[in-house]
Amino acid sequence: MLRLIRKTHPTVSVICLYGMTGHSDNYMNSVYKPAIKSFPDKNLSPLRALPATAGGGTRSNEARSYKFTPKNLRSISLLYKSIEEKIMKKISTLCLSVLMLFSFVACGTNGSNEQNKEAFIVGYQDLYLADDEIYYLKQMLEYKLGPESADRIDVSLSSDIATYENGIVVPKKTGTCTLSLKQGELEQKISLNIVASDQYDMSKMSIDVGRLYNKKILFFGDSITHNWMKYPNGDNTVVNDTDSLGYPSHYIVQMNNFCRFANVENCAWSGGTMATPPKNSKTRQIYKCFSYCAEHNETAIKNADYVFIWYGTNDYHEFYEIGSTEDVIDSCEKESTFTGGMKYGLSKILEYNPNAKIIVSNLLARSCNTENGAVKEKDQIAYNDAIAAVASMYKVRLLDMFSLFTIREMRAKGLSQDTGIFYTDDGLHPNDNGYTVITRFILNDGVATEELKKLPTASYEKQ
């Protein structure tokens, strides 16, 4: 092309480079101009870009012009080659991206394949059940995918160790089989493992709508679980009543919206602790300590399918001794370390109800100062390490609440720099948004994601 230009137009001073509308400016910046700028021949001087109609160009085929002298036509040829190489590199990258996209789409749309393509319809690949519990699979799918998408899922089991009827997985005997979820050409295979209730390892169980739906739930904890904003003075006189669930955004209320609990009991107290302070302590309120609450709520524990336990922030606030896993107490009224109180309370729950499924949460990050000094993340982590150690001893499920928010995100009267959303108004207690994120976190099997924390300010989820 350039040889032809030289033969037919020996005095050429302008060469026009054409590009497609919507890409010409990008290519001018990313291909042409860098190529000219880096070209070693300094006699090549770019001329300003001409109007869209220059050189016969139109809005659909714009022209860009640069000025050259005939003696540098060889340089133009080398420049053209350089530009061509850069364009081909970009085209190759674009083609590779398109091929990858078509390959991905083909996995779900190519009907000529003999087998269904493996998919990731729900967020787990293993389902661990005791032989005495049922799993509401349809409700889980509706929560994850929405009712319309859930209705398009075909469910099947590879053996008779369980049945699937009316959206419910019912164990029949112990063993392992495959639970298949199919949606058109897509298929996800989940390993269903059913074990005897007396051999159940609670640390392996998932926490989601399907597991908690229509179950009897019991809560122990402090002001975060207690009706803190409804009863700021800690008046817990109303317990087994719908009114005791607190204000509409409270995480128990939101969980109930999705899980439709058969029964809820809230035994949490504002100011509750895992440790039992000494008798001469100014902060000692024995009825708010976990060991005391566990021992004195035998009926509620026996009636529960699942027990949620969430203490620690007040222990940290008062700097109660953490202790070790060797700590033992023989009475709920005796002074105990943080670890000793946790062990005593868990032992009582399992004594009253050996089949209770227990979920323990660690400390929620807090940014408000304690009375004894500034917030120290390493001290909060020390309490969390103790919770993890005892949870492992008793093989109960641990929810890592501390991973949900950073201390900076939970700063008092401040906005999260990551999302621009308030999660707390005082540096500790969740507000509407905070409780919504906590609810999502719990029902997402304790897995924190960035999407999970994206929501409008002052909103909470309703059913």
The per-residue pLDDT for range 429-444, each reduced to its tens digit, is 888 888 999 999 999 9
If you average pLDDT over residues 309-316, what whole number do you get? 93
Q: Which of 141-150, 282-291, 425-434 has the highest mean pLDDT?
A: 141-150
pLDDT on residue 370: 52
State pLDDT tens for residues 375-418: 566 688 999 999 999 999 999 999 999 998 877 777 655 454 55
CB atoms within 10 A of CB 94: 10
Enter the DSSP assignment of 142: H
State pLDDT tens for residues 265-279: 999 998 999 999 877
In angstroms, the first-to-last Cα distance of the chain is 68
Among residues 174, 197, 220, which one ends one of the domains?
197
Reply yes or no on whether the pLDDT at 62 is more than 70. Answer: no
State pLDDT tens for residues 67-105: 444 444 444 455 455 555 655 655 555 554 444 444 444
pLDDT on residue 240: 37
User: Residue type at 86?
Assistant: K
Reply yes or no on whether the pLDDT at 260 is more than 60. Answer: yes
Residues 80 and 206 in one domain: no
Residues 409 and 371 in one domain: yes
Alpha helix (H) residue ranges in 287-421: 290-295, 298-302, 313-318, 338-352, 377-394
The answer to whether residue 463 is domain-embedded is no
Bigger pLDDT: 245 vs 122: 122
Could you tell me the sign of the dihedral formed by the alpha carbons of 196, 201, 205, 211, in that order? positive
If you average pLDDT over residues 174-183, what whole number do you get? 95
Residues 168 and 223 in one domain: no
Confidence of residue 122 (pLDDT cuts 50, 70, 90): confident
Among residues 56, 75, 109, which one ends one of the domains?
109
CA triple 159-160-163, angle to 5 deg: 110
Residues 49 and 176 in one domain: no
pLDDT on residue 18: 37
pTM of the predicted model as reported, rounded to 2 decimal places: 0.70
| Range in 229-243, 297-311, 353-367, 393-407 with the lowest mean pLDDT | 229-243
Strand partners, 186: 117, 183
Residues 209 and 323 in one domain: yes
pLDDT on residue 71: 43
The answer to whether residue 8 is domain-embedded is yes
User: Quick one: 452 exposed, middle or buried, by C-beta within 10 A (0-12, 13-18, 19+)?
Assistant: middle
Residues 25 and 101 in one domain: yes
Q: Give the domain CATH number at 190.
A: 2.60.40.1380
Residues 149 and 291 in one domain: no
Q: Give the domain CATH number at 79.
A: 3.30.70
- Residue 374 has, within 13 A of its CA and on its CB side, a CA count of 4
pLDDT on residue 456: 58
Average pLDDT, the chain: 75
The answer to whether residue 460 is domain-embedded is no
pLDDT on residue 278: 77
Residues with Cβ < 8 Å from 10, sequence gap 6 or more?
Answer: 70
Residues 57 and 182 in one domain: no
Reply yes or no on whether the pLDDT at 144 is more than 80. Answer: yes
Could you tell me the sign of the dihedral formed by the alpha carbons of 361, 363, 364, 365, in that order? negative
Residues 317 and 404 in one domain: yes
State pLDDT tens for residues 146-164: 999 999 999 999 999 999 9
Distance CA 456, CA 440 (A): 14
The answer to whether residue 458 is domain-embedded is no
The answer to whether residue 461 is domain-embedded is no
The answer to whether residue 299 is domain-embedded is yes
| Range in 89-98, 136-145, 444-453 with the lowest mean pLDDT | 89-98
- What domain count does the chain have? 3
Residues 224 and 162 in one domain: no
Distance CA 315, CA 364 (A): 12
pLDDT on residue 361: 97
Q: Give the domain CATH number at 304.
A: 3.40.50.1110
Among residues 82, 109, 136, which one ends one of the domains?
109
Residues 368 and 341 in one domain: yes
User: Residue type at 386?
Assistant: A
Residues 339 and 354 in one domain: yes
pLDDT on residue 91: 57
Bigger pLDDT: 338 vs 118: 338
Reply yes or no on whether the pLDDT at 35 is more than 50. Answer: no
As a whole-number percent, the residues of the chain with pLDDT over 90 amount to 45
pLDDT on residue 285: 82
Containing structural domain, residue 168: 117-197
If you average pLDDT over residues 240-249, what whole number do you get? 53
| Range in 20-29, 325-334, 449-458 with the lowest mean pLDDT | 20-29
Confidence of residue 119 (pLDDT cuts 50, 70, 90): low
State pLDDT tens for residues 289-305: 999 999 999 999 999 99
User: Residue type at 38?
Assistant: S
Confidence of residue 422 (pLDDT cuts 50, 70, 90): confident
* Whether 219 contacts 157, CB under 8 Å: no
Strand partners, 15: 66
Q: Which of 100-114, 167-181, 219-233, 419-433 has the highest mean pLDDT?
A: 167-181
The answer to whether residue 252 is domain-embedded is yes
The answer to whether residue 462 is domain-embedded is no
If you average pLDDT over residues 30-52, what whole number do you get? 39
